[in-house]
Chain A
C-alpha cells in the first residue's frame, strides 16, 4: 500500500520508503524537542533495522544531526553562551574523537563486524540508560528526602577532580581544570559520535556541568557549539568514506524539524515526572529492537522500534492537546 512512497537511494543502492524516513526524523524531532537531547540514538538502529548497512546508517545519521544542529543553532541563538576557549578545545577533541570512531567503524566494516559490534554497543548503552532512568524514577522520593536533609544542615562533600598538569583556566566559565579532563570528555563524546552516530549531548552535557564544572547556560551553549562542529565533521568524514546517503538525511531532517516544533511546544503544557518513566521504557524498547535485529528478527525489530518511537510521540502530542485544551478552558473561565 505504501510502496508509492518508495524512493531510490543512489548511494546505498536500495529502495527505501520515504514515509519511514520522515517518521523516524519526526519522532526524533519530537523527542529531542521535548526532552532537550536530540534522540539521534533512535536513528542509527532504526536505519540499520530497515536495511541500511551499519556504516551508512551512522554516516547518514551524522549528516542529519549536522543539519538539525544548524536548525537548533539558528533557533536558539545560544551561541552567546559559548565559552570560546572551551569551545575551541571541544572542536579539536571532538574532531579527533569522531575520526577515531569513524575509522573504527570502517575497519569493523572491512572485517564484516560493524553491524554486530555497533549493535552490542547500542544494546549496552540503551539498556544501561533505560534501566538507570527506571531506577532514577523508582528512587525519586528517597532522593528528594535525602536532598532535603542535606539542605537542612549537612555539608556537601567537595567535588574531586583530577589535577594532572597542565592546568587550564577558562575565564568565561570561571574554572581552572586539567587539560586532560577536558580532552578526555571531548575525545570520548567525539568517539561516541563517530562510532554510534549520535550527537553525544546526553553524556557531554552532564560531563560539562558535573565533571568540568561549567555553569549550566555555558554548558548548553558549548554543547550546541560542539555538536555543530562534530556533526559537520562527522558528515564530512563519512562523506569521504562514501557512507552518507544524502537523500535519506534530507528526508529525516525535514521530519525532525517538524517534530521538534511539536516537541518544544509540548514542554509548555506537559508537566510531571511520569513522562520520564515512559521515556525510560522507550529507550529499553529501542534496545530490545536492536537485540531483535541482532538475532535476525528484523520484522519484529522494525515494529518495536517504530511503535516505541511513534507511540511516545503520540503520548506527548495527546498530552500537549489536553494541556492546550485545559489552558483554553481556564482562560475562558477567567473571562
Chain B
C-alpha cells in the first residue's frame, strides 16, 4: 500500500513540470517577428539578417558568441592584471 502511494505521488510530481511546459508552449508559438533591415550596415545588418532568416542559427550564434566574448574578457583581464601586478587567483564570484 505504501509502495503504491509512493508510485502515485512520484507520477503526480513528474507530470507537473511536463504539463506546465506543454501548456505554456502551446500559447507562446505565435510570437515570431521580423526586424527591419533598412538602413542597417555592418554587424547590425549581420545580426538582423541572421535573426530574420533562421532563429535557431541566431540562437546558436548568440550563445557561442557570448561564451567566446566571456572567455576573451577573462583572458584579457588576466593578462592586464598580471601586468599591473595583481593577484587574480583568489577571486570569489558566483551566480
Contacts and interface: CB of A to CB of B under 8 A. Distances in A.
Interface SS of chain A: helix, strand, loop or mixed? helix
Contact of B35 (A11, A227, A246): A11
A296 to B, nearest CB: 25
A240 interface: yes
B77 A36 contact: no
A300 interface: no
Contact of A246 (B13, B28, B65, B93): B65
A100 B28 contact: no
A260 B81 CA distance: 13
Interface size class of B (residues with CB under 8 A): 35 or more
A100 B27 CA distance: 12
A248 B13 CA distance: 39
Contacts, number: 187
Given A11-B48, A264-B91, A239 B59 contact: yes
Interface in A51-70: 63-70
Interface in A231-266: 232, 235-242, 244, 246-247, 249-250, 253-254, 257-258, 260-261, 263-265
B74 A227 contact: no
A239 B28 contact: no
Nearest to A70: B70
B79 interface: no
B60 A236 contact: yes
Given A67-B69, A205-B94, A246-B62, 13 more contacts: A10-B40, A10-B44, A66-B63, A67-B66, A199-B94, A223-B95, A224-B94, A227-B94, A238-B59, A240-B59, A241-B31, A253-B73, A264-B92
